[in-house]
Chain A
Amino acid sequence: MKVELFHAPGCSRCTAAREDLKAAATAARADVEWREVNALDEMDYAVERGVLSLPSIVIDGELVFSALPSPQQLRAALLRRPAVRS
C-alpha cells in the first residue's frame, strides 16, 4: 500500500507531524510503502492527485486527507482499506 505525504519544504506543520504519521502508518500495516513528496518539485504529480493544500495524504493514488490527520485517523483510514495482493 502506497502512502504519500505531500509537503512543502520548510512547512512547519509538515515537519512536526511527519515522523508521527510515518510511525503510525508503518505500525498499522506491514505493506505500507511510505513516500514523502515535495509538492514544489513534483507539482504536476500533485495536481494529478488533486492536492490543493499542504500537507495532504494520498493513499494508493486517492487523496484521502487534504488537511493534517492525527496519527489515529491515518491508522483508521489505512486499516479500512483492503490489502493489495501482489
Chain B
Amino acid sequence: MLTIGKLAALAEISADALRYYEEEGLISPADRSASGYRLYDQECVRRIRFIKQAQHCGFTLAEIRELLTLRGSDRACCDDVRTKAIEKKLQLEHKIKAMKSVSKALDRLIADCTRKGRPVAECTILAAFEQTGEKVH
C-alpha cells in the first residue's frame, strides 16, 4: 500500500492533484491507515497512468470518468471507446480549424499594418480591435 506522498512521487503528480481526482470520482483510496491517512494500491497506480495518458490525448476529466466507466463495464465493447476517440478527434479538428482561422485573421492585420514607427494612435491593429459589431476576420 502506498501513502498519498509515495503515490504522488511515483505518478509524478502533486498530492493536491490526487485529492482532486478523488473529489472528481476518478480514484479512491483502497484503504485508510489506523490514523486515517489514505492508502492506495496498484490499481490506483494503473488508474492514474490511464488518466495521465488520456489527458495527454485531450480528454477532459469528465470524459476520462466515462472512459473509466467503460473500462470497468462488462456490457461495453471496444467500439464504444473507439467512438469516443473519434468524437475527441472531431473536437480537436474543430479547434484546429478555429485556430487556423484566427491565425489567418492575424496575418491580415499584420499585413495591413505598414506604418512602422508611427504613434499607437495610428495603429491599424489596435483600431481593428476597437471596431464594434464587425469581426476582424
Contact = CB atoms under 8 A, between A and B. Distances in A.
A44 B82 CA distance: 18
Size category of the binding interface on chain B: 10 to 19
Interface residues of A, number: 16
B94 A52 contact: yes
B87 A54 contact: yes
B94 A54 contact: no
B12 to A, nearest CB: 32
A43 B92 CA distance: 11
Interface of B: 77-80, 82-83, 86-87, 89-91, 93-94, 97
Contacts of B97: 47
A43 to B, nearest CB: 6
Contacts of B82: 8, 10
